[in-house]
Structure 1
Amino acid sequence: MRISDEQFRKFANLTFDDMRKMAQDDSLSRYEKIGFPDSYRQGKEEIILRNIVANLPLLSERDKVVLDVGPGCSDLPLMMANLCREQGHKLLLVDSEEMLAHLPDDDFIRKFPAFFPLCDSLFRDFSAKVDVILTYSVFLTAFKEGNAWDFLDRSLELLAEGGEMLIGDIPNISKRRRFFSSSNGVKFHKEFMNTQTPPEVQFNTIERHKIDDSVILALLSRARSQGFDAYVLPQYADLPMANRREDVLIRRP
């Protein structure tokens, strides 16, 4: 089974249970196991890590507690583990047991097989003690399958004073529409799809299970109303979906 660019839209609807099954499918590459075509992640995860570290400066300090929610099993969590080892961080990983089985075991790593935030032991042991929370390419699943506000609120409960959280790689249908309504977006679509047909863009339509500007701005508003600073950040321009995805950074003062 291979995931082409044309099939990617179908894989945007994957559930947590779908991903558990894919983690065990040896016919898939490590990128396909997390729901991406190889072309979207191969050779790009080093750039993703640099973007993450730039947005989460505490990762470059020493002896922090780092939580990665939904790390998957591609190269990115392995690079994150190496970074944590080098910096003396404690690394907490929350994902399905099937995904976590692909990641290394070590003294500085603690694994929580669960659908976040349904992991009582994590909150019992690390409430208000986590310095850095990373969740990358995961929020859409929480939005569609769980409770996005519970996902946010419980995450904020874990942050220590001065801690920071990056909700990374959020697909924003509003940003996508704006891009594909522009001349640059039309050109990008035609070249990427090898077609002369412009992209189809529809405004004022109901888009079930899609994240739009209202959700992004509500994330900021909810975090800020609970005493946290929150910002929308652009992705590095050389990431494959930077023109239709963005990141949210939250900091506890």
Structure 2
Amino acid sequence: MASVNRFNHIGFEDFRRFAQDESMSNYERIGFPDSYRQGYEAAIHEDICRKLTNLRAADRKVVDIGPGCSDLPKMLISLCGSRSHSLTLIDSQEMLNLLDDAPWVEKVGAMYPRCRDWIAHNAGKVDVILCYSVLHYIFVDVGFFDFLDSSLSLLAPGGQMLIGDIPNVSKRKRFFASATGVRFHKDYMKTDEAPVVEFNTIEPDQIDDAVVMALIQRARSQGYDAYVLPQAPDLPLSNRREDILITRP
């Protein structure tokens, strides 16, 4: 079963262009066909809040890396306002312009983590970092470890980071090799043919188990706890995507 090929191999400059393209829906502007996000974002928000438990507290410093312009960051803005959190949104200025301003919201128009001065100023001060549906675009412009190390430097003691909605090609293969995955593929593609699955093959430019485990190991080696978590089953891509939760003890 093919991935969302329209949005493969795109990066920061592409999203800047998408933000200004009025022919695209807000879901398309963040790299999704409407069917993958429309009607699902409230459930996605709930899943995020279950994992980032610091959001339930009050007066915390929250950062959203690559929030985009759909309803999901708007839900986070509303939550932070109700909990007296300060919220920093880091994305292209063009994308940030599509989100409303609020007294508790700081907008940083930059390609993360190339906002080095902001990172240095906020090192060790952040209670919550969210980076959702972004990791697979990061490697187009910057290295995974540069992204991770910069993010870990921001976390305060007890701080949490969720790298969410990671399209792990290894998990995807395991799903489509299963009886459930075969039925899903046939129903979705309107075909009688099973999906072609090849294990033990390297797929260039794809995140696989090796990348996910390398991020986990690198975070742990720096003194952080790190876990691979499943997505809630009612999320649209839960059968082939997963999350990483990192906490600073």
Question: Does the pair score TM above 0.5?
Answer: yes
Aligned to 1:208: 204
Is 2:150 the partner of 1:158? Answer: no
SS across alignment from 2:180: helix
* 53-62 or 193-202, larger mean C-alpha shift: 193-202
Which runs of 5 or more structure 1 residues have no equivalent in the other structure? none
TM-score by length of 2: 0.97
Is 2:84 the partner of 1:88? Answer: yes
- CA deviation digits over 1:147-206, x for unaligned, max 9? 100100000000000000000000000000000001110000001111111111122323
Instruction: Give the Cα–Cα distance (whole angstroms) in 2 for the partners of residues 235 and 143 of structure 1.
Output: 22
Aligned to 1:183: 179
Is 2:161 the partner of 1:197? Answer: no
**CA shift for structure 1 position 7:** 8.1
SS across alignment from 1:31: helix
Aligned to 1:53: 49
**CA shift for structure 1 position 238:** 1.1
Matches for 1:1-253 after TM superposition, within 5 Å = 8-253=4-249
* 89-98 or 142-151, larger mean C-alpha shift: 142-151
**CA shift for structure 1 position 120:** 2.4
Determine if contact 2:11/2:138 at 8 Å carries over to the other structure.
no
Paired residue type of 2:142: G
Paired residue type of 1:14: I
Q: Relative to structure 1, is the Cα distance of residues 7 and 235 closer, same or farther in structure 2, using a 3 angstrom cutoff?
A: closer
Higher relative contact order (CA 8 A, sep 6+): 2
Cα RMSD of the aligned pairs, angstroms, is 1.3
Paired residue type of 1:209: D
Q: Relative to structure 1, is the Cα distance of residues 116 and 212 closer, same or farther in structure 2, using a 3 angstrom cutoff?
A: same
TM-score by length of 1: 0.96
Instruction: Give the Cα–Cα distance (whole angstroms) in 2 for the partners of residues 124 and 181 of structure 1.
Output: 45
Percent identity, please. 54
Q: Relative to structure 1, is the Cα distance of residues 201 and 7 closer, same or farther in structure 2, using a 3 angstrom cutoff?
A: closer
* 135-144 or 179-188, larger mean C-alpha shift: 135-144
**CA shift for structure 1 position 78:** 0.4
SS across alignment from 1:170: strand
* Equivalenced residues, count: 249
Instruction: Give the Cα–Cα distance (whole angstroms) in 2 for the partners of residues 217 and 143 of structure 1.
Output: 16
SS across alignment from 2:238: coil
SS across alignment from 2:98: coil
SS across alignment from 2:26: coil
**CA shift for structure 1 position 109:** 0.7
Paired residue type of 2:52: L
Instruction: Give the Cα–Cα distance (whole angstroms) in 1 for the partners of residues 231 and 59 of structure 2.
Output: 27
- CA deviation digits over 1:93-115, x for unaligned, max 9? 10011100101112211111111
Q: Relative to structure 1, is the Cα distance of residues 107 and 219 closer, same or farther in structure 2, using a 3 angstrom cutoff?
A: same
Instruction: Give the Cα–Cα distance (whole angstroms) in 2 for the partners of residues 227 and 135 of structure 1.
Output: 20
**CA shift for structure 1 position 64:** 0.2
SS across alignment from 2:161: strand
Which runs of 5 or more structure 2 residues have no equivalent in the other structure? none
